[in-house]
Amino acid sequence: MTKKIALISGLTGQDGSYLAEFLLSKGYEVHGFIRRASSINTKRIDHLLFHNGIEDHPNIVGHYGDLCNSEQITNLIYNLQPSEIYNLGAQSHVKVSFEIPEYTSDVTGVGTLRMLEAIRRSGVKSRFYQASSSEMFGGSPPPQNEHSPFRPRSPYAIAKLYSYWTVVNYREGYNLWASNGILFNHESPRRGETFVTRKIADGVAKIVKGLQKELRLGNLDAERDWGYAPEYVEAMWLMLQHDQPDDFVIGTGHKYTVRDFVKEAFEYKDLDWQKYVVVDERYFRPTEVDSLQADYSKAKKILGWEPKTSFKQLVRIMVDAATDTLNKTIVNIKD
């Protein structure tokens, strides 16, 4: 049997790194976009790129590529002829999207159009996964499923909605094999440092070590449905193994406030969160998404997908990882 080829935009991100691991374990040849930056941005995938720490891994290749550059996208898709394409690349931070709305629209919105146009024009028979987001539901009341109305509340969510509808339009209009995974928040030790769960986990670890005195956060009342990222990349893959393209909500079905996350993380380390957390308006958003909670019954029924990690386990995984990383850094400094 010929080896399956997958192309991932956003390979260097949280999900891209877990998806690459997952696909490699299934025998895929994995290719991904790497954004050219002045300093190295591959820390989440270095263990995959460099086999035994030195030689190049035979089954994973990074290519310079940017979602703002149609030529690179088209060349890569045409030359590789991937069987599966996962479009995970994005300016993915909601608060930042209010500060750079035009750039966010270009990468997170028009970037998807560039990918789909490259597939359409080249005639390559790829299955396409779009990283759609629960942020698209915005002000729509929970629980949200595939039939809930979209009421986006940020430039990021609007850009994701543009992508969502472009996928639907290319599926219906050009018969492209394209699916939207509408994923609710998913976290891990590889989460970017400025997302709230990672910020809380890092803050707790530093407070325990006496390296930080307070943790400044924004809205503690927002409710999110938080799951564990490695389980969510399997759902992406399952969507592309299904017999037809379709759209699926993925989440845990449980919602907690940011305050609940804070409390759980501090109590795990026997700390009273109220002594350390300071609410700072700098972290508020012009418009907030108040409550997200997934109804993932369609994915459960059709794909057989279910979440496994509980909220409490997720908090502990993140605080433990933040503590380990800090301990290693301190040892290195002492060395």
Instruction: Indicate which residues carry an active-site annotation.
Output: 133, 135, 156
Residue 110 binding: pick among ligand NAP, ligand GDD, none (C-beta 5-8 Å cut-off by kind): none
Taking the complex as a whole, the smallest distance from the CB of residue 169 to ligand GDD amounts, in Å, to 21
**Segments of the chain assigned E as strands:** 5-9, 29-34, 50-51, 55-56, 60-64, 84-87, 127-133, 177-183, 186-187, 215-217, 223-224, 227-228, 247-250, 256-257, 277-279
CA 115 to chain centre: 18
CB of 198 to ligand NAP, least distance (A): 10
Does residue 309 touch ligand NAP according to CB under 6 A?
no
**The only residue of 13, 155, 230, 251 in contact with ligand NAP, by rule CB under 6 A:** 13
For ligand NAP, the closer of residues 133 and 293 by Cβ is 133
| Residues within window 188-247 making contact with ligand NAP, judged by CB under 6 A | 192
Q: CB within 8 A of 185, min separation 6: which ones?
A: 134, 197, 224, 225, 226, 227, 251, 292
Burial of 145 (0-12, 13-18, 19+ CB in 10 A): middle
Residue 89 engages ligand NAP in binding (rule: CB under 6 A):
yes
Q: Binders of ligand NAP among 92-121, rule CB under 6 A?
A: 92, 107
Interaction site with ligand GDD (CB under 6 A): 92, 94-95, 133-135, 184-185, 194-196, 199, 217-219, 222, 224, 258, 283, 285, 288, 292
> Between the CA of residue 229 and those of 42, 55, 251, 280, 319, what are the distances in Å?
18, 28, 10, 28, 15
- Closest CB 67 distance from ligand NAP, rounded Å: 4
Pick the closer one to ligand NAP by CB: 67 or 176: 67
What residue ranges bind ligand NAP (CB under 6 A)? 9-16, 33, 35, 37, 41, 66-68, 88-92, 107, 131, 133, 183, 185-186, 192
